[in-house]
A = this chain, B = another copy of it.
Amino acid sequence: MSTIKPTPAPTLRRLPKYLEYLHEAKRKGIASISCTTIANDLKLDSVQIRKDIGITGIVGKPKTGYNVDELIHSIEKHLNWDDMSSAILVGAGNLGKAFLGYENFKKYGLNIVVAFDKDRNKIDGNIFNVPILHIDKMVDLTYRMKIHIGIITAPADEAQEIAELMILSGIRAIWNFAPRHLDVPDNIYVENAELSSDISHIKRRLKEITDKEKKYSESN
């Protein structure tokens, strides 16, 4: 059925973008929308949007487009945002704690239910209603709670060890914010947050832009 073919990664990256836009449109009271309109506003290609949207299974009407509510529902269902997944977080430093209070994750169907740290000084009850426990308790608790998503916000040199513990805990997918490659079995999915990649993009493109401008001004 819907899962014979995996959704292409670029599509998966764009779908949330459409969703954000569609929620905004809905708030403005727009009932139906076409790919052409979305493409104009987001400065993307309408054919690409139509294809991406089509993957989620919805069918549109010529001349009108799609019903906004149905479209939102179709995408959210495809992305599994409609059923809330529980997650654990390991590493209650600045970034980890910030995530515990980051409300948007819930919108995306991700609920951090408990956090762990190896530093007993950081284990001071709850932060944003999420309990912070010692890492010793992770494997047993996570396994019993049947949680399958783990977030690593610990320092790089602890990441591999944490990943291995997570796998013991029954974690199947790891969201890794530590700048370290994780060596895991094939049946474990790792999503690297790659803040460094973002910065690389920014710095390189900035260089490309300014170099080009310099060249242009020199040739005049």
Flag if A80 contacts B209 (CB, 8 Å).
no
Interface residues of A in 86-141 (CB under 8 A from B): 94-95, 97-99, 101-102, 104-105, 108-110
Flag if A3 contacts B211 (CB, 8 Å).
yes
- Closest B residue, CB atoms, query A104: B179
Flag if A108 contacts B205 (CB, 8 Å).
no
Contacts A173-B206, A212-B3 hold; do A196 and B16 have CB atoms under 8 A apart?
A: yes
Copies per complex of this chain: 2
Provide the bound-state CA to CA distance between A212 and B189, in Å.
Answer: 14
Flag if B202 contacts A175 (CB, 8 Å).
yes
Interface residues of A in 132-152 (CB under 8 A from B): 148-149
- Closest B residue, CB atoms, query A81: B203
| A158, CB-defined interface residue at 8 Å | no
The size of the chain A interface, using a CB distance under 8 A, is 66
Flag if A205 contacts B179 (CB, 8 Å).
no
| A36, CB-defined interface residue at 8 Å | no
CB distance from A184 to the nearest CB of B (A): 10
| A48, CB-defined interface residue at 8 Å | no
Flag if A149 contacts B211 (CB, 8 Å).
no
| A201, CB-defined interface residue at 8 Å | yes
Task: Please give, as numbers and ranges, the residues of chain B lying within 8 Å of A173 by CB-CB distance.
Answer: 202, 205-206
Name 5 extra pairs, CB < 8 A, besides A94-B102, A108-B195.
A3-B208, A16-B194, A80-B206, A149-B206, A172-B209
* Among all A-B residue pairs, the 5 with the closest Cβ atoms: A98-B98, A16-B196, A94-B98, A80-B203, A108-B199
Can you show 28 pairs from A to B with CB atoms below 8 A apart?
Answer: A3-B208, A3-B212, A13-B194, A16-B196, A17-B197, A19-B196, A20-B179, A24-B180, A41-B181, A79-B203, A85-B203, A94-B98, A94-B101, A98-B98, A104-B179, A108-B195, A108-B199, A110-B199, A110-B202, A149-B206, A173-B202, A173-B206, A175-B199, A175-B202, A187-B209, A189-B206, A191-B198, A193-B198
